[in-house]
Structure 1
Amino acid sequence: MSQRVVITGIGIYSCLGKNLGEVTQSLYTGKSGIVFDQVRKDFGFRSALTGMVEEPDLKNYLSRRQRVGMHQPAIYAYMATHEALALSGLDIDFLETTETGIIYGNDSTAASVVEAVDKVREKHDTTLIGSGAIFQNMNSTVNMNLSTIFKLKGINFTLSAACASGSHSIGMGYLMISQGLQERVICGGAQEINASAMASFDGLGTFSVRESEPEKASRPFDRDRDGLIPSGGAATVILESYEAAVKRGAPILGELIGYGFSSNGDHISNPSIDGQTRSLQMALKQAGISVKEVDYINAHATSTPVGDGSEARAIYEVFGADVPVSSTKSMTGHECWMAGASEIVYSLLMMRNSFIAPNINFENPDEDSARINIVPETKEQEINCFLSNSFGFGGTNSTLIVRKI
């Protein structure tokens, strides 16, 4: 028998804030986290825009031995997970004696690899790299570090699916719990934000060059958009079976009722309306709800001409013109591997506080965006059910649906 899956904890560390309170305020006020980064311009970037995410100092949280194998993705993920566990009422004593899993989305550890190789080139001696480098360099760095630090005893792997990684991690956690294979899974997404990680992406010419107006550069669905802005951090979502959550008196923030997915099976980077539509329809079918029951859509829209247009057409094809839509990437930029998880957190914060965060910088619709109901300013509205889209390179698509209990 299928188990109900609920969300009992969330945590966030992003360019909108270092905790849930700060991020809620940024979402409500439509505050952008995008800045001009001179380091990138000096490095040779075509675009020096980025979501600015301060790297936390974990000395007050962890021992040196615990920190040695951690680089940006794991560091950010620790902060988000620490907050999520506290909200959920989970401590290490409980985690060490129960079967709690972790499935985290991550798709790069570029900076740590570059640093290790540069050290060998300079010293001509691999023994000088340091014992922690191998654990920093592996794509599974988040899972390895967090499962050790928090004494997790359940399923443990990294999910790598480009910009849908965070969303698919939550979807896989949902499947594990719904099938009775786990009672509890820590899910999420992490994204390093440094020059090494984003140089090749910048080289594709897909980043906005509106450098004189950083806060206005990310313009999802707007006719005058000229590209996305990279960003990062980490977001954690704790999933549990409904029965397990009730048994331990955990707070229930929402119920995950639908997970849709698809592969475009076509171009490696161009989006597909057909692939996106199939993901949307699968999530709705699994959730057992009609399109009219969805109160809000958090769009994947990254501020690229082709990508935003395709999603607008897919949304219109499935939902029509009425459901409110916004892309929080207008404020955060594209958080890449973490985006599918962070946008679940952002949407849950809207649900808890009865508002829809604005799609800032949406001033002039184009032919596609004019057909759907994009929210350009903060809107006071009760949200009982929301849907979140995530699409990635390689044609991977993920759609999640969450409702209030």
Structure 2
Amino acid sequence: MTDAYLALETGDVVEANARAPGRAQGELVFTTAYTGYEESLTDPSYEAQVLTFAYPLIGNYGVRPERFESDRVHPSAVVARELTDDIADWLREEGVPAVDGLDTRDVVLSVREQGAMKVGIAAGPDATPEAARAELADCPHMSDIEDIGERVSVAERETHGTDAGDGANADTHVALLDCGAKRSIVDSLTDRGATVTVLPHDATPEAVAELDPDVLFVSNGPGDPANFEAAQRVVSEFVGDIPLAGICLGQQVVARALGGTTEKMEFGHRGVNQPVLDHESGRVVMTTQNHGYTVADPGDLEVTQINVNDDTPEALDSAELDVLTRQYHPEANPGPHDTLDFFDDVLAMAESGRVPLAAD
């Protein structure tokens, strides 16, 4: 029995089965990953989006909280060909509408051919096509969600890894601007012995200066990088004084702060098999990605890696300024571990004998 409807910007209304009831709206995107659904659903970079799984069966190995990348589900709704009861029950408990029983191949092809689009969803006993269309009519564009950073960032600073011991990076202090950080980024740094202080996305330069960190790191996150002006100001303030690193949205924020520009992609990169070419080594690695914006002009930075499929920048570096950024997710949850050495390279920048800010 049809009890769910998806109203697309194309004018089409797609019928489906409600697995978790409710109404929702957001940018319709898809991921090609066939594992890691727990990590994807708890990835803050999916905030305000409706996530469609291209793989037909989602939930076949259950739900384990230790795999979560944050403390909640972030997509505003979930679409799949078939959801197991475990996933449907979890999404129902989270209050996130979920639908299945539709041909997701058609949904994915619509996004591929016409680009990421707005969608309205109504699911449950009282759902109607008109209710789905009403959600669509009220749905904002991603670039218009100016408070998206507040939705995914910590409210107050947090410190992780203070019991790091005597490891190689035990004295390294990383200040992480939380624009929607995945837990595995923090874990990747603390596992290497660093102490990580997580700061709100809108932290002031004074808050960073007070910490006097060895590395300033800008995290991944959702939405348009132009809406993270506070993080750009922090990067502009400390470039050349503190080594800088960034992942995903973090790369875009760093580029914008250093004279570059960003642009929205047609349908983005979301999956665990994106090929990336390193210019220096000639090596191609497989990467995990989740982003709808990209760097158009790198500004003061050098493009050192590109996406094999569309030549978009995947890595920006500057030895002179001590900057390392990656568009993909080296921590790779879910996904391959081809690029975990990025975190070693970031922490190595802290070993250059930087003069403390107070001594400048």
Q: TM-score if structure 2 supplies the norm length?
A: 0.31
Higher strand share: 2
Q: TM-score if structure 1 supplies the norm length?
A: 0.29
Higher RCO (Cα < 8 Å, 6 or more apart) = 1
